[in-house]
Amino acid sequence: MPHLYTDRLELMTFTTEMMQAATSTRDKLEQATGYSVASGYPSETYKEILPYKIQRYRHFPEENEWEGLIIHKQDQCVIGDMGFRRSTDNPKEIELGYSIVPAYEGYGYATEMAEAIIEWGLKLEGVERIIASCDPNNAGSARVLEKAGFTSLGEREGKIYWST
């Protein structure tokens, strides 16, 4: 993905080299990105799937263009990540996923990121809409998606699904 800038954020490609550093130590990730890294990033869950992502992106490098880091410009700090993947149900849809460290939640950063990513994503060739899902108990994520312009499609299989 290209570098994208919002009022308060920079969104940059999360390269396989950066992912490799993220599986190691915070210092290595800071060296790889050139930014400080917020406490709690990456989450343990995300850290566990990074080896899979690294392997996948090495075999399919074009997919890595859709994986990014969220940088807080004023703090010069990695505060989260976001990414797209093609929908398994419809190749004209891409699915947005994201996470923000707890210390930066509740300030509108996820909404700001989502709005920028939606604008960029809908310009990609063949993309007609962007979808997302969240846990029904995650009111914060539902609020982010709503503010970013998503419409709820309802709940199924234990998740609420959303679409632009």
Cβ atoms 128, 106 nearer than 8 A: no
Query: Taking the complete model, does pTM exceed 0.85, yes or no?
Result: yes
pLDDT at 108: 97
Cβ atoms 113, 82 nearer than 8 A: yes
Measured distance CA(15)–CA(66) in Å, rounded: 10
pLDDT at 152: 97
- Computed over every residue of the chain, the mean pLDDT equals 93
Q: Where are the domains of the chain?
A: 4-163
pLDDT at 60: 82
Q: DSSP strand E in 31-87: where? A: 36-37, 67-72, 77-86
pLDDT digits (tens, 9 = 90+) for 96-155: 999 999 999 999 999 999 999 999 999 988 999 999 999 999 999 999 999 999 999 999
Instruction: Indicate the fold that domain 4-163 takes in CATH.
Output: Aminopeptidase (3.40.630)
pLDDT digits (tens, 9 = 90+) for 73-103: 999 999 999 988 887 788 899 999 999 999 9
> Which tokens is 68 given?
């990014």
pLDDT digits (tens, 9 = 90+) for 20-41: 999 999 999 999 999 999 999 9
**3-state secondary structure (DSSP) of residue 155:** strand
